[in-house]
Amino acid sequence: MISLTSPVKTRAHGWPAGLKLGALCVASTALFMTGNVVVHLAALLAVAVLYTIPGPVFMRAGLRSLRAVLPIIVILLVWHGVTGDPGLGIRITLRTVTLVALANLVTMTTPLEDMIDLIHWLTTPLRRLGVPTHLLETAIPLVIRFTPVLVERAQTLAQAWRARAVRRPGWRLILPLMLQALDDADHVGEALRARGGPLGPHQQE
């Protein structure tokens, strides 16, 4: 499955995921604490430099993921411009872009396996309390495996609809999609049981 990680390998790929996440939290909190526009501008410049270091391919991929923030910027500037404090609008826009770009950097440079390991580590206190967090290790691969399957099913259903009707398929496809997903879930449940149940807390080590 396609993921949002960077197409090129960077040095940051090797860094521990916990460290990157921790740094992101510290940086985000710090930016929320300060209202100094010079600090925000410097932070944005620093993040921009981080994007350029791994080369043009990395930068293009990164900027593509950042496109989603554009509408937010427009509304921020318009809103604060209309309500009479454009300075505040600019400051928040700078902060928003920096925060989103920073978080995106962590996502781009951290492979899924590292993230799952991090989750395993972060849920340690819950596990101590007796929460069955090991079930996540069974559930996560199931979702990853079945999302493309269900997407394909939805496309097949839409195709079948188009073969029969002139109107565009809409929400009506959701019922058969849901029925198939529920049937699949029953089968997967039986298959899991036949194979001795989900991964136990000891098997995954």
Give how far Cα 122 sits from Cα of 12, 19, 93, 195, Å: 21, 12, 31, 28
Which amino acid appears at position 80 of this protein?
Answer: H
Count residues contacting another protein (CB under 8 A)? 71
Phi, psi of 4 (to 5 degrees): -95, 10
Whole-number Å distance between alpha carbons of 101 and 115:
18
Write down the least CB distance from residue 63 to another protein, Å: 12
174 touching another protein, by CB under 8 A: yes
Which amino acid appears at position 71 of this protein?
Answer: P
Sign, CA torsion 105/107/112/114:
positive
**Beta carbon nearer to another protein, 55 or 141:** 141
Interface residue with another protein among 7, 185, 201, 203 (CB under 8 A) is: 185
Stretch that binds another protein, among 7-15, 42-50, 52-60, 143-151 (CB under 8 A): 143-151
166 touching another protein, by CB under 8 A: no
Stretch that binds another protein, among 8-16, 44-52, 53-61, 96-104 (CB under 8 A): 96-104
146 touching another protein, by CB under 8 A: yes
156 touching another protein, by CB under 8 A: no
Interface residue with another protein among 37, 119, 120, 156 (CB under 8 A) is: 119
Whole-number Å distance between alpha carbons of 122 and 133:
10
